[in-house]
Amino acid sequence: MFDNFVVPNLLPAAPELFLAAMALFILLVDLVVKDGRRTVIYGLTQLTLLTLIVWRGIPYFRAIFLEQPDAFEALSQITYTFSNMFVIDMMGDLLKLILYMAMSVVLAYSRAYLIEREVMNKGEYYVLALFATLGMMVMISANHFVTIYLGLELLSLALYAMVAMNRDSVASTEAAMKYFVLGALASGLLLYGMSMIYGATGTLEITAVAERLFGGGANRTLLVFGLVFLVSGLAFKLGVVPFHMWIPDVYHGAPTSVTLLIGSAPKLAAFAIVMRLLVSGLFVMVADWQNMLIILSVLSMAVGNLAAIAQTNLKRMLAYSAISHMGFMLLGITTGVVSGDAGNLLNAYSASMFYVIAYVVMTTGAFGMILLMSRAGFEADAIDDFKGLNKRSPWFAAIMLMLMFSMAGVPFFIGFFAKFSVLQAVVAAGYMWLALVAVFFSLIGAFYYLRVVKVMYFDAPVDETPLVAGTNMRLLISANGLAVALLGMFPQVIMSVCAYALLRSL
């Protein structure tokens, strides 16, 4: 029965196997170690992520800072394993490195918040976070429809459980149910689209789908219907209009530490599967999915920015902000190819990749500030909670100002250069009207970001007690805010690495 079984090369998937083993080990340790603060579990979780950061980061350090040719050569290799279901390339490596760092920061921000809420400070929280990370890693390296679905469901199931962890909160339970029901619907759409593409091409492997489409002969009608369902499922995971209805409710109802996780790292994995499915697999159908993405992008920028103006809850405001940002990110993917000419492809796709990385850095800092302001029994998730922050802590007010300015696209923060690079690609592709629409809605969006700044600096504080934070939290959030400023002044390193990664991967 197993005569023809070929043992796969496990080395390319070694980080995933290591993370899975550590997640199971930490789960067992939590049964043995009786520690109310979960210090050991938190330490092991951070050690796992730090190991992965060093593991994946050393080749980049050697290539970029030491300029060693063999390191560039090693990073440029594309390796397939598990019967071509799993791929390792430079785009995936870079996204995973950012993912590890983002998850480490997310858990560090969440530490004090969890300690103050005993019902959530469980070992399962950290184990679920690691399994969510594993799901994102599988999604980023997927070269097969089944692999994408497995990674997506592993991430989704972990997030459903994390949203519902605060069992004493009716809002969290309601958010978890909404997320679960709508997530199941989106997974169904994605699966149905994949099955139709399989019916048209006879394969589930992404690279093989691309080859069959280039060869011609596939049923065009079946492909287009499959593409519609596929794009719909992807749109839900990205949270773009009209598949955005879950985002405000889940962001608002979930515990803030979980909202931070949902709003940051998964965007990297969502970008990866869009690139894998649409660019690597269905590139021949670019004229079809390009028009769909343009509609999704414009609607997302419009609804996201206009709806955010009416919000008084900061988490809901950032939820609608996320919708508009994902719409902006899609602009780069939609303008890579114009009338069959792929001349703008690398510039446009690398601009979108840079944008999603910049968004993760900014949104992590913004939710980190909400966690910093929160305390036991109190969620600082209303815009009014930031009133007079400058009088309580000028330094943290300055950090929040930098984060809001960056998200609004004010020069010279990383958010400005992220928007500028995408707009540059859009204009180069000849979509001047689309660039003007994006600029118009960005100007509208600046209002609600600047409103937070106005509240911090010009309104009287409700609570005049000085803002106290632990040393770790103070250092981390300061580094996050300064990174937004410094990366805005020197964006060339990340932009060039994104372009090189995509050049060697597509």
Give per-residue pLDDT as tens, 410-466: 888 999 999 999 999 999 888 899 999 999 999 998 999 999 999 999 888 877 777
467 has a pLDDT exceeding 60: yes
Looking at residue 377, its pLDDT comes to: 60
Write out pLDDT tens, residues 207-244: 999 888 888 777 888 899 999 999 999 998 888 988 88
* Amino acid identity for residue 253 in this structure: G
Concatenated DSSP letters of 50-103 = HHHHHHHHHHHHHHHTS--HHHHHHHT--EEETTTTEEE-HHHHHHHHHHHHHH
Write out pLDDT tens, residues 369-395: 999 888 756 777 888 888 888 888 889
When pLDDT is averaged across residues 493-499 and rounded to a whole number, the result is 88
Looking at residue 343, its pLDDT comes to: 66
SS3 375: strand
Q: Which two tokens stand for residue 175?
A: 């958010």
Phi, psi of 75 (to 5 degrees): -65, -30
404 has a pLDDT exceeding 90: yes
CA terminus-to-terminus distance, the chain? 37
Dihedral sign from CA coordinates of 130, 134, 135, 140 = positive
Domain spans in the chain, listed from the N-terminal domain onward: 11-505
Residue 64 near residue 495, CB atoms below 8 Å? no
Q: Say if pTM beats, i.e. exceeds, 0.85.
A: yes
Looking at residue 376, its pLDDT comes to: 56
Burial of residue 147 (CB within 10 Å: 0-12, 13-18, 19+) is: buried
Q: Which two tokens stand for residue 121?
A: 């400070």
Looking at residue 361, its pLDDT comes to: 94
Percent of the chain past pLDDT 90, that is, above it, reads 52
Q: Which two tokens stand for residue 335?
A: 């303008």
Looking at residue 433, its pLDDT comes to: 92
130 has a pLDDT exceeding 70: yes
Percent of the chain past pLDDT 70, that is, above it, reads 97
Looking at residue 393, its pLDDT comes to: 86
When pLDDT is averaged across residues 177-205 and rounded to a whole number, the result is 91
2 has a pLDDT exceeding 60: no
Looking at residue 392, its pLDDT comes to: 85
- For residues 174 and 176, give the distance between their C-alpha atoms in angstroms, rounded to a whole number: 5
